Chains A and B, each alone.
Chain A
Amino acid sequence: MNNHKWLIISASVVALSVLAVGCGTSGKTSNSGATGEGATGSQKNVSTSHTESATSASAFFKDKTMQILVPYGPGGGYDQWARLIAPYLQEYLGLGKVEVVNVPGGGGIVGTNQIYSAKPDGLTIGDTNAGGDVFDQIDNTPGVNFDVTKLTWIGRPDDDPHILGVHTNGPYKSFTDLEHAQKTIKALATGKGSSDYNAAVITLNAFNIPYTMVAAFSGSKDEKASFLSGNGDTISLSASDIAEIPDQAKVILLQSTERFKKLPNVPTVIELAQQAGLNQDKINALKEMAKIMDLGHAFIAPPGIPADRVAALRKAFQKALSDPSFIAQAKKENLYVGYLSGSELTNIADNAVANTSHLKPLLQAK
């Protein structure tokens, strides 16, 4: 008898814990169901009364649940930006809840596809490697089901240019040394098809530097660890990554259109190309590449979101980025804040896809 009592108690404890999880899941489903109904309801509102568009957008977002899809796993830079901005978007859009959902896979393609094909109601947005996405589209990467020229661009939170670095006590001290390299250099990048990989390939191709790419790392930290144990000649990373190892790595080039205030003495790839007297086609290609790299950790949304909601999203994003507590937290997390508006991002993406004739020949790794 006593045995049976305990059996029942312990079985019900397990059953309860499972139920608790089950309820959590079902609660979420019903929540998003309600959101869906609300979405269709206010879409009608928007089409009937344009004059009240601003108020209807804010009425639409009120108390809804937003999802920020991150096409990478937890722990990376994209995840970091999404989790940082989530509470501010919640506050400035009056949302009930903002969830960050990691959708890793396919070097970011799986998640970006999912953002692109999400319901265009403004309640699903994403934080993506925009430069990588543009390169994927230019390169016709298998699995790409999105078109960056149709995406809704919300804004860019960061100003953190990609760079090329060398070992501080290695044989190469500057990019000019690399240009005169006699041996084949080993260039580290995170993974094939990532934007830092493509940028390094384009630059090294343009300057006719003999190289092999070494790229099978799970992320920038992994790449950096290999560089720190003495591997490779160059490393392709973003400025904030390299700032953590000032004694071991020297930045020799910026993959950007402009110089960077935190690294005032480092030339851009375009300046170096002009100095080296590369032909105009190559300089144009490098300019296109630099612009794509400047897209950074952009926030995007699916195409076809009603205009008033896009405006509300962009405004809330801008407000969040100028919030002093946001800036303080970003600084604490070692993130470089630098706002770029959604309309500017749209222009960059459109131009990049339209002018690829110079870029494409340089995109193939040797």
Chain B
Amino acid sequence: MFSAVLAGFSSLLTVHGLLLLLLGSLLGTLIGTIPGLGGAVLLTMLLPFIYGMPVIPALSLLLAAHTGIYFSGSITAILLNTPGAPESAATTFDGYAMTRQGKAARALGVSAVSTTIGGWIGVLLLMAVIPLMYQLIQLFQPSDYLMLAVLAIILIGQMRSGSLTKGLLSGLFGLMVSFVGYDPITGVQRFTFNLLSLYNGCSITAVALGLFAFAEMFSLYAKNRVTTQSTKIGFKGNAPGARVTDGIRDVFRHSWLMVRSAILGTLLGVVPGIGGVAANFISYGQAVKTSKHPEKFGTGIPEGIIAPESSSISKEAGNLIPTVALGVPGGVGMAVLMSGFTILGVVPGPSMLNQHLDAVFAMALVIAIGSLLSSAMGLAMAPYLARLSQLPSRIIVPFILALGALGVYAAERDVGQIVVMLGFGLVGLMMKRFQYSIPAAMIGYILGSVAEKNLYLVQQLQGWRMFERPLTDLMVAIILALVIGPYVRRFKKRVPTQEPKEASL
């Protein structure tokens, strides 16, 4: 095994391998700032170039590009409230709030450092389980996945919403949206109104941009008209408390949160379907739940960036486990990476662990170096990029609207999905206005298909015997505690119903 580690590292650490790694990082970091072009699109564009390359340099190009996307996706999430990739959506909550306080550079610093260190923790965990990964992945049954999905929806449902009920309603709304399109079980079309654009459901890029970016842009523009003055967002530049170095210090002040989130991200990454986009939300949710001051989340505190960002690359490390061990990719990016495997003649599965173990270790190293490179590049640019937030909204709003439309079209090649994005922009605006939870709707949408598919599998394969599984039981218990707990507490204390906070627009 150690010979495989050494073989993997030595074939990566050549001039050719490192140059490709650098190139991949650079491409990922630049392209990742454009919403919709991250994830699968960039990787598919790189695929034709790897024909005829040796295995390890080719994988390092692809994986470095894939890794680079995440930090640059967070840059736009923080500065413009526009997640470059759907994965970065959870970073908008506190990241953009900090930008509005003029602390954009500090937020970028927090993001860069926690992404990198979180990524390293993920890589270390990955390296530790590589020899065992094949056995590890077979431990889970459909009922575990189902309960994990339900748990995630309920956990996130309590985030950023007026009340628990509103949060759960938002989660259910997201679930309903996920049912649009081709039914994976019966094969019929649901809620598609015979529109070909909807046959494949609502595109995840369109929904994420609509709910997060467009809703914010609409309200930013509306505000501009009401106050009839330029809503220049304050920018404090080098003022104390707003610098990149302050952000770096923030991360180390909350290092336990960072370690926890990174480990959680890696574990979630192992679960196909959940690990992709949901990991960052769940990580944010656990930070809120375990915080001493949960009410401050969303107002622009560093913890709200550290939690999702430290899981953003560590989850990719976790994601490699099912991809490599079984050939079941955790997300779209990993699916394209798998086409890369097949082009190179590497068959994911037990045989890969026997024949290409060096490549697996090399990939772990690529994630580690790639996350450092892209964060370093991003960080070097951060003080200058942060000035983007000074642009008045009458310039920034049309720019983001155009960028979003372009990104959705590039990802889907379908004008119908741009309409979907605009529609979700309006829905998001309403949800903000009436204090429904946008993250809950998003997570419901993402996990809808996972929950549906595994509910069916549980019914067909496990039945009531699912309760014989301790892991499932544990999650059912947590779910019940989360849903019933608040009512029981309120009943005991006879606390009057929470007064609704003033709605913000």
Which A residues lie at the B interface, using CB under 8 A? Answer: 3, 6-7, 9-11, 14, 17-18, 21-22, 25, 73-75, 79-80, 83-84, 87, 101-102, 104-107, 109-110, 113, 141-143, 186, 191-193, 212, 214-218, 221-222, 224-226, 228-232, 244-245, 329, 332-334
In the complex, which of the residues A10, A141, A334 contacts B345, with contact meaning CB atoms closer than 8 Å? A334
Contact between A215 and B141, CB atoms less than 8 A apart: no
Residues 162-193 of B contacting A (Cβ, < 8 Å) = 181-182, 184-189
Contact between B342 and A333, CB atoms less than 8 A apart: yes
Please give, as numbers and ranges, the residues of chain B lying within 8 Å of A192 by CB-CB distance: 185-187
Indicate whether B328 reaches chain A with its CB closer than 8 angstroms.
yes
Cα A84 to Cα B141 with chains together (Å): 35
15 new A-B contacts, CB < 8 A, other than A229-B139, A244-B347, are A7-B387, A9-B384, A14-B33, A18-B403, A74-B44, A83-B47, A191-B187, A193-B187, A217-B453, A221-B348, A222-B328, A225-B328, A226-B457, A229-B138, A245-B350
Contact between B200 and A191, CB atoms less than 8 A apart: no
Interface size on B, residues (CB 8 A): 65
In the complex, which of the residues B199, B338, B339 contacts A106, with contact meaning CB atoms closer than 8 Å? B199
Indicate whether B397 reaches chain A with its CB closer than 8 angstroms.
no
In the complex, which of the residues A110, A216, A231, A329 contacts B185, with contact meaning CB atoms closer than 8 Å? A216
Closest 10 CB pairs of A and B: A105-B200, A332-B345, A192-B187, A75-B335, A221-B327, A193-B187, A106-B199, A75-B339, A229-B138, A214-B460
Q: Min CB distance, B471 to chain A, in Å?
A: 13
- 12 A–B contacts from the bound complex (CB under 8 Å): A7-B387, A18-B34, A18-B406, A21-B37, A73-B332, A80-B339, A83-B343, A106-B189, A225-B327, A231-B142, A232-B461, A333-B343
Please give, as numbers and ranges, the residues of chain B lying within 8 Å of A11 by CB-CB distance: 388, 391
Interface centre among B51, B181, B182, B349 (most CB of A within 10 A): B182
Please give, as numbers and ranges, the residues of chain A lying within 8 Å of B431 by CB-CB distance: none
In the complex, which of the residues B47, B142, B326 contacts A228, with contact meaning CB atoms closer than 8 Å? B326
Digit string of B332-356 for contact with A (CB within 8 Å is 1, else 0)?
1001101100111101111100000
Cα A106 to Cα B33 with chains together (Å): 31
Cα A229 to Cα B339 with chains together (Å): 24
Cα A110 to Cα B344 with chains together (Å): 29
Please give, as numbers and ranges, the residues of chain B lying within 8 Å of A225 by CB-CB distance: 137, 322, 326-328
Indicate whether B140 reaches chain A with its CB closer than 8 angstroms.
yes
Contact between A109 and B199, CB atoms less than 8 A apart: yes
Please give, as numbers and ranges, the residues of chain A lying within 8 Å of B37 by CB-CB distance: 21
Q: Min CB distance, A228 to chain B, in Å?
A: 6
Contact between A143 and B199, CB atoms less than 8 A apart: yes
Contact between B384 and A10, CB atoms less than 8 A apart: yes
Indicate whether B329 reaches chain A with its CB closer than 8 angstroms.
yes
Please give, as numbers and ranges, the residues of chain A lying within 8 Å of B11 by CB-CB distance: none
Cα A192 to Cα B141 with chains together (Å): 21
Q: Min CB distance, B221 to chain A, in Å?
A: 19
Cα A232 to Cα B141 with chains together (Å): 12
Cα A19 to Cα B63 with chains together (Å): 26
Contact between A141 and B187, CB atoms less than 8 A apart: yes
Indicate whether B30 reaches chain A with its CB closer than 8 angstroms.
yes
* Contact A3 B336, CB 8 Å, known A14-B33, A142-B189, A193-B187: no
Cα A18 to Cα B347 with chains together (Å): 37
Cα A228 to Cα B141 with chains together (Å): 11
Cα A80 to Cα B339 with chains together (Å): 7
Please give, as numbers and ranges, the residues of chain B lying within 8 Å of A83 by CB-CB distance: 47-48, 339, 343
Contact between A17 and B33, CB atoms less than 8 A apart: yes
Interface centre among B141, B332, B339 (most CB of A within 10 A): B339
Which B residues lie at the A interface, using CB under 8 A? Answer: 30-31, 33-34, 37, 40, 44, 47-48, 51, 137-142, 181-182, 184-189, 196, 199-200, 237, 272, 322, 326-329, 332, 335-336, 338-339, 342-345, 347-351, 381, 384-385, 387-388, 390-391, 403, 406, 410, 413, 452-453, 456-457, 460-461
Please give, as numbers and ranges, the residues of chain B lying within 8 Å of A10 by CB-CB distance: 381, 384-385, 387-388
In the complex, which of the residues B141, B335, B349, B388 contacts A229, with contact meaning CB atoms closer than 8 Å? B141
Cα A22 to Cα B48 with chains together (Å): 21
Please give, as numbers and ranges, the residues of chain B lying within 8 Å of A84 by CB-CB distance: 343
Contact between A334 and B347, CB atoms less than 8 A apart: yes
Cα A225 to Cα B322 with chains together (Å): 9
Contact between A22 and B406, CB atoms less than 8 A apart: yes
* Contact A224 B384, CB 8 Å, known A143-B189, A229-B138, A334-B347: no
Contact between B182 and A106, CB atoms less than 8 A apart: yes
Please give, as numbers and ranges, the residues of chain A lying within 8 Å of B272 by CB-CB distance: 222
Please give, as numbers and ranges, the residues of chain A lying within 8 Å of B338 by CB-CB distance: 75
Cα A332 to Cα B196 with chains together (Å): 37
In the complex, which of the residues A17, A216, A221, A244 contacts B328, with contact meaning CB atoms closer than 8 Å? A221
Please give, as numbers and ranges, the residues of chain A lying within 8 Å of B181 by CB-CB distance: 105
Contact between A216 and B187, CB atoms less than 8 A apart: no
Cα A162 to Cα B408 with chains together (Å): 37
Cα A216 to Cα B452 with chains together (Å): 9
Contact between B390 and A7, CB atoms less than 8 A apart: yes
Residue of B nearest to A215 (CB): B185
Contact between B200 and A106, CB atoms less than 8 A apart: yes
Contact between A245 and B199, CB atoms less than 8 A apart: no
Cα A83 to Cα B272 with chains together (Å): 25
Contact between A216 and B453, CB atoms less than 8 A apart: yes
Please give, as numbers and ranges, the residues of chain A lying within 8 Å of B199 by CB-CB distance: 105-106, 109-110, 143
Please give, as numbers and ranges, the residues of chain A lying within 8 Å of B33 by CB-CB distance: 14, 17
Cα A217 to Cα B85 with chains together (Å): 25
Residue of A nearest to B352 (CB): A244
Residue of A nearest to B138 (CB): A229
Residue of A nearest to B134 (CB): A228
Contact between A79 and B339, CB atoms less than 8 A apart: yes
Residue of A nearest to B40 (CB): A74
Please give, as numbers and ranges, the residues of chain B lying within 8 Å of A102 by CB-CB distance: 44
Cα A229 to Cα B48 with chains together (Å): 35
Contact between B347 and A191, CB atoms less than 8 A apart: no
Please give, as numbers and ranges, the residues of chain A lying within 8 Å of B456 by CB-CB distance: 216
Please give, as numbers and ranges, the residues of chain A lying within 8 Å of B385 by CB-CB distance: 10
Contact between B326 and A186, CB atoms less than 8 A apart: no
Residue of B nearest to A104 (CB): B200
Contact between A224 and B326, CB atoms less than 8 A apart: yes
Interface centre among A75, A106, A113, A230 (most CB of B within 10 A): A75
Contact between A75 and B336, CB atoms less than 8 A apart: yes
Cα A222 to Cα B351 with chains together (Å): 17
Interface centre among A22, A87, A333 (most CB of B within 10 A): A333
Cα A37 to Cα B413 with chains together (Å): 23
Residue of B nearest to A136 (CB): B187
